[in-house]
Amino acid sequence: MARSLARIAHEILERNKSVEELALVGIRSRGVPLARRIAAIIRDISRHDVPTGALDITLYRDDLMRHAVGAQPVVRSTEIPFPITDKRILLVDDVLYTGRTIRAALDALIEFGRPKAIQLIVLVDRGHRELPIKADYVGKNLPTSLSESVQVHLTELDGRDEVEIQR
């Protein structure tokens, strides 16, 4: 995982000439620590602090209120403490699957301003897209079947770094 993130950080600096324009936004929950780790690696390489924010997409989900029974998903706070207009936003999530989370995140992000560009970073791309969405930086492509589930564990939240595939 560390090597994948280091490679992604290098790719980001290779593709984006001015580091000053960059900002990282992690999608809650596991995108947030991943974004912080990438920011730390970029700092080590370029001596530049990339601002980092957290985005909760619950209120933008397209599957809210589709179920007659059961509690609403928990809403957590969005913290983007910098203007995103004219920035190159690097959106970070752990697993890319149907693409619906990213669709919601794009909608949410655009309410904060008009970024110059949005690029997508994911640790794992497991396929099975339902929307025309593609990641710009991928830690690992992981072909899976629909019956499997992919769970990313991170030290910050789960006490260990691990990608788990469950049948």
Give the footprint of other proteins on this chain (CB under 8 A): 56, 59-60, 64-65, 67-72, 74-79, 107-108, 111-113
Token code pair at residue 55: 């985005």
Nearer Cβ to other proteins (41/109): 109
At its nearest, how many Å lie between other proteins and the CB of residue 113? 8
At its nearest, how many Å lie between other proteins and the CB of residue 22? 22
Q: Are 42 and 34 in contact (CB under 8 A)?
A: no
Q: Are 23 and 86 in contact (CB under 8 A)?
A: no
- Rounded CA gap, 117 and 49, in Å? 19
At its nearest, how many Å lie between other proteins and the CB of residue 72? 3
At its nearest, how many Å lie between other proteins and the CB of residue 67? 5
Strand order in the sheet with 88-96: 52-55, 22-27, 88-96, 117-125, 137-141
Nearer Cβ to other proteins (44/62): 62
